[in-house]
Structure 1
């Protein structure tokens, strides 16, 4: 179950700033809401690199409201109303204050780019005319991920790759992103766990 939780969490702290030299910082500038369709491949560094395949959708609405749900491959739903976050993973349910929970880096990038720049540093930036690859590392040694890689093509996010300390790798292929879409607040309701 650890690999599913990893999809949503990264421990974030601060020191070095993420520079504005690339597309990553400006990618979601001016965005108030999003709908992201993704497919995911997770590779576990055990007995032949087990690969699991998933599909899902992320809804986001400023400030810090999000709904991350899997539509194929797992029974996972993470919902935040901006104050509380509910995690329902394969029948296990937990509710906590959002301030007490680490947030997946992509959500932090969209919601608060300045905090994101404080929490991560660019380890490597590669660019050409149409592609940009940004490899970032968290500034905290006890972070959940040892690195996160963003792949941008023609000023659009195409893939996010997360790498854990134990070698578990998650690859999120971004199938579609719709910016500033109308989203009903009902999507972000945190209902009690049963």
Structure 2
């Protein structure tokens, strides 16, 4: 479920951006929504991820950090309750499960190749123009703007019903909620975003 949640998150991560008219509910998927990401040479943030399973009346929470270096290097690192990280770099996926390391060639594996395309499309904003695979609706909720993303593709719809992304008034991504058809969901809440922060090269070493 960790990898699935991360895949779904990156499908929607291209929505992290700003708009010239953020108070409008009828926002358009356009270059306005990608200005902030396009200007970012690097990103650092912290997250809390909670998985809620309604049928089992249970939930679990993890904590971690996310790092990004333009144009396509990403590290998703869990720190609690135990260490686990995914590093996307040079068409490879490096997994470190509490010291047990593995490597996947995304160019020779269809699933990981698709994952790589989705991540790249998310970060450069092309995903927002993918009308073939997604519907996006916008709504205002209190001081937040929510983008509700629904997949058109059946294989994607089998994994999640919708993704709800919430943005604050300063145009920063506050949370991503990944909702499954069963009603189970994963909520990822972000804080301490820093753009163009100097990130040590060692962070992106496998």
Structure 2: 5+ residue stretches without partners: 12-26
The structure with the largest strand share of the pair is: 1
> Is 1:6 the counterpart of 2:4 in the alignment?
yes
> Is 1:57 the counterpart of 2:65 in the alignment?
yes
The structure with the largest helix share of the pair is: 2
Q: CA shift at 1:80, angstroms?
A: 1.7
2:123 maps to which residue? Answer: 111
Distance 1:113 1:124 in 2: 16
Q: CA shift at 1:116, angstroms?
A: 4.5
Structure 1: 5+ residue stretches without partners: 13-17
1:139 maps to which residue? Answer: 152
Distance 1:106 1:176 in 2: 25
8 Å contact kept, 1:23–1:132: no
Equivalent pairs counted in the alignment come to: 182
1:173 maps to which residue? Answer: 189
Q: CA shift at 1:64, angstroms?
A: 1.6
Q: Tell me the TM-score normalized by structure 2.
A: 0.73
> Is 1:85 the counterpart of 2:93 in the alignment?
yes
Q: Tell me the TM-score normalized by structure 1.
A: 0.77
Q: CA shift at 1:68, angstroms?
A: 0.7
8 Å contact kept, 2:38–2:124: no
Alignment RMSD (CA, Å): 3.2
8 Å contact kept, 1:24–1:134: no
Bigger RCO (CA 8 Å, 6+ sep) = 1
1:75 maps to which residue? Answer: 83
Q: CA shift at 1:163, angstroms?
A: 1.7
